[in-house]
Amino acid sequence: MIEAQELTKRYGGKTAVDGVSFTIAPGSVTGFLGPNGAGKSTTMRMIMGLDRPTSGTVTVNGKPYAEHRSPLSEAGALLDAKAVHPGRSARFHLRTMAATHHIPASRVSEVIEMTGLATVAGKRVGGFSLGMGQRLGIASALLGDPRTLILDEPVNGLDPEGVQWVRRLVRSLAEEGRTVFLSSHLMSEMAQTADQLLVIGRGRILAAGPVQQVIDSVSGAAVRVRSPHAADLAALVAADGAVVSSPEPGVLELGGIDAARVGDIACAHGIALHELSPRSASLEEAYMSLTQDAVEYRSTATRSTAPPSTAASKGTNR
């Protein structure tokens, strides 16, 4: 379990994390979302004791990470896949880490096999691709068989097979009762992987809770209906408290009412339905809505690449 209370980090006059409080419970995968510069990496570094909080506290399994007698068995982390000496082999790097905690060599071989590094374990890390570096980072995080796993952008650089492997891995670890906390900018992948979400922007928590709850809190659930008697149905569901809109003739978009209730009303009044489908915003749409005012680096509209007019290109010769 990870618990933060009023966690704050300032760098000079800049507040990177601003009084955040949260609990990451075991037995589920919690996704950590936010724009670049939102405070995700700083928060993760404070959890692992790499940055000292300006104020507030954060604990891993009941203690600050550095106070555990065997920290690698409490929490494993992938925060920077490049934080490995490039002249070392993957196996040597893992054996060095293992020696600090009296972890047997058999565990090193086990995580090498688990992460698909067997064929390159003897090669220098400096020659690794981005994806292989990510796999080594995950192997390092798993080395102590930890109760808590913290992964910052673990699928960055992985091919589709690797992305699927990470998804299955973190799901299986959560099912074993472990705490899994990971960040990603891939919304479609997070929607498939995470049970819970923590959304941060400009150092503050914007939303927290189960994935669908976070989506519905922004967009609200909706029902799409198509009927030859759409106008009659619209009046009936409006009287039942639904919010009604009609994007096109014969089609209704309904809010504040579920599909089962719409079906019951239509049946009770003999109204034929040609379509009745619950609709929900995607995680990406909800995320964009939540963070629209918390983006630190915003792109401008693309400039036109059309050539300037002849007069402009030649000057104003008279």
Residues in CB range of 111: below 8 A, 6 or more apart: 94, 139, 142, 143
Nearest one of 98, 101, 153 to 131, comparing CA atoms: 153
Contacts of 172-176 with CB under 8 Å at 24 or more apart are: 173/149, 174/26, 174/27, 174/28, 174/29, 175/27
Q: What's the fold here for domain 2-210?
A: Rossmann fold (3.40.50)
CA angle, 10 as apex, 4 and 14 as ends, to 5°?
A: 130
What pLDDT, on a 0 to 100 scale, did the predictor assign at position 308?
Answer: 45
Indicate the pairing of strand 243-248 with strand 251-255: antiparallel
- The two beta strands, 251-255 and 222-226, are antiparallel
pLDDT at 300: 57
The pLDDT score that the predictor gives to residue 219 is 66
Question: For residues 264 and 266, what is the distance between their CA atoms, to the nearest angstrom?
Answer: 6
- CA gap 276, 224 in Å, rounded: 6
The residue ranges of every structural domain in the chain are: 2-210, 221-279
Nearest-angstrom CA–CA distance, 139 and 141: 5
Q: Tokens at residue 129, please?
A: 């691709």
* Low-confidence residues in the chain, pLDDT < 50: 302-318
Order of strands, sheet of 75-78, starting from the edge strand that comes earlier in the sequence: 75-78, 148-152, 179-183, 28-33, 196-201, 204-210
CB 33 within 8 A of CB 189: no
Fold assignment, 221-279: Alpha-Beta Plaits (3.30.70)
pLDDT at 156: 87
Task: Give the pLDDT score at 307.
Answer: 47
What six digits make up the tokens of 86? 């490039």
Q: Is 0.85 topped by the overall pTM?
A: no
The C-alpha atoms of residue 305 and residue 115 are separated, in whole angstroms, by 46
Nearest CA-CA partner of 236 in 201, 192, 197, 268 = 268
- Which phi and psi angles does 116 have, rounded to 5°? 75, 25
